[in-house]
Chain A
Amino acid sequence: MMVELADSLILASPYALLPALLCGIVRFGRAPVHIRVVMLLVFISSVFTFISALLWYRRVNNLPLLHVYTVLEFSLLSVFYARWVRPHASAWLLLAVIPLFVVLSIGNSLFVQNIGTHNSYTRGLEAFLAILYALWMYYRSFRDQADASDRPALLVSTAYFIYFSACFFLFVLSNRISMSPDLRHIFWGVHAVFVFVLYGILTVAFYKVR
């Protein structure tokens, strides 16, 4: 029963992207640059999800895509935060982390975790850094009211904060979970729930762009 439910959620999760994608396309023209970056990220997610589904359908391992997607996702998230806090000096720090993360990811994919497996180290690192970014933005919003007034950006930050917090252990332990086929579905079913939460909040954030 649980496995069937989890399977349904996993199968339905790619559709969670659609409202955020449509809302992003409609509001792209009037959105500020940092929100456009997130809209672009949603578009890239859609493309990767589509290709992943296609590969899965043809029984081809789609995990190499996750290695590439992790780098793109983290880079765009960093650009989003950097654009949001601009012209604060910390914006440069956020941008400087991107090449370091790219080098680490490439190193991880080449020498540590084969591209045919989950990139649990870099995905875990990405989740950890994204949580830190979000916490830092909450702190800034308390201190500086100007940041707090940007509702869509706060919602985007909250969406990724909840998603990465909930899925942190899943990402870190993803290779070990894969070893147990029975529970794998349940774990990724839980992940699918948070994918719905993530894209649901992102849809609201894009809708709130004035």
Chain B
Amino acid sequence: MKESDYFIFFLGSLAMTSLALSVVFFFVLMQRRQMRHRLHVQELKTEHHLDLLRSSIAAQEAERKRFAEDLHDDIGVVLSTAKLCLARGIGEQRSDLAQEALALVNDAMKGIRNISHDLLPPGLAQFGLWSTLSDLCGVIQAAGQLRIKLEIPEETDEPDLKEELSLGLYRVIKELLNNTIRHSGANAVVIRFKTDGNTIELVYSDNGKGIEEQSSVLPGLGLRNLESRISVLDGTIQFGKAEGGGLKVEVTLPLNNR
């Protein structure tokens, strides 16, 4: 073996070993970095899910509180008054008090109907989502503050939506309209539906202040709850800016998710 061969052998072996160890070192380093990154993403996801869960629980509690207040303030007071009227009417043999009690019972029944409709829109199961939404938009437009354009695909019949999906979409639109009325300062809303047989897509836009200006108050407005509601239905929701600068919300839901 010549001297140059020894040189090649030593240098080559040293270079190859160093290179191999460098590759292994680099690989271990990169793997650890990837692991840390994955862990971080996982933590963010968990935190986000917890956030949604907290929002969902908070919304549920707020709804229960409102329901309890409605029952106590509207129905409870009216029925108590009716009871008093009836007690006095029977005791004093006065038909005018009985008439008054009857009117109060009618008021209580109306109140119960309103609460019940608020909890579960009555036409949803019977007449479908399109019809119920038309009614809702009609009621809001009648107040004169907001013009609502409801665009429903004409070429197809209403897809056979599951109850939870219809109710979910109804609640989403109601929450968005509520947000528009209370916080955006908009006077026009466009609600557009599209479906391709597999998914249903809702695009909601208004001409108000838009998401950036509202962002500081968003968490308190129930918009976060929309995200948890949509995620329960295996859908996606995106908040963005409408053409005129208002709020734009795009919701996509699978029609046969379960």
Contacts and interface: CB of A to CB of B under 8 A. Distances in A.
Contacts of B19: 165
B39 interface: no
B27 A138 contact: yes
B68 interface: no
Contacts of A176: 1, 5
Interface residues of A, number: 24
Given A162-B21, A169-B8, A183-B1, 6 more contacts: A145-B34, A158-B24, A166-B17, A168-B12, A169-B9, A173-B5
A183 B27 CA distance: 35
A170 interface: yes
A183 B6 contact: yes
A176 B31 CA distance: 40
A2 interface: no
Q: Which 9 interchain pairs have the tightest Cβ spacing?
A: A165-B20, A169-B12, A166-B17, A165-B16, A169-B13, A176-B1, A180-B1, A138-B27, A169-B9
B9 A170 contact: yes
B23 interface: yes
Interface string B20-64: 110110010011001000100000000000000000000000000
Contact of A168 (B16, B24, B27, B38): B16
Contacts, number: 54
A138 B25 CA distance: 11
A187 B1 CA distance: 13
Nearest to A180: B1
A138 B31 CA distance: 10
Contact of A179 (B1, B17, B20): B1
A68 interface: no
A54 interface: no
A64 B17 CA distance: 28
A38 B31 CA distance: 24
Contacts of B16: 165-166, 168-169
Interface of B: 1, 5-6, 8-9, 12-13, 16-17, 19-21, 23-24, 27, 30-31, 34, 38
A189 to B, nearest CB: 13
A135 B124 CA distance: 61
B40 to A, nearest CB: 15
A141 B34 CA distance: 11
Contacts of B6: 183
Contacts of A165: 16-17, 19-20
A111 interface: no
Contacts of A179: 1
A173 B2 CA distance: 12
A44 interface: no
Nearest to A168: B16
A141 B17 CA distance: 21
A190 interface: yes
Contacts of A158: 24
Contact of A161 (B8, B23, B34): B23
B20 A190 contact: no
A148 interface: yes
B94 to A, nearest CB: 82
Interface in A131-180: 131, 135, 138, 141-142, 145, 148, 158, 161-162, 165-170, 173, 176-177, 179-180
A161 B1 contact: no
Contacts of B20: 131, 161-162, 165-166
A187 B14 CA distance: 12
Interface in A177-202: 177, 179-180, 183, 187, 190
A180 B30 CA distance: 43
10 contacts: A135-B23, A138-B23, A141-B27, A161-B20, A162-B17, A162-B24, A165-B16, A166-B20, A168-B12, A177-B9
Contacts of A167: 13
Contacts of A141: 27, 31
Contacts of A169: 8-9, 12-13, 16
A1 B72 CA distance: 99
Nearest to B19: A165
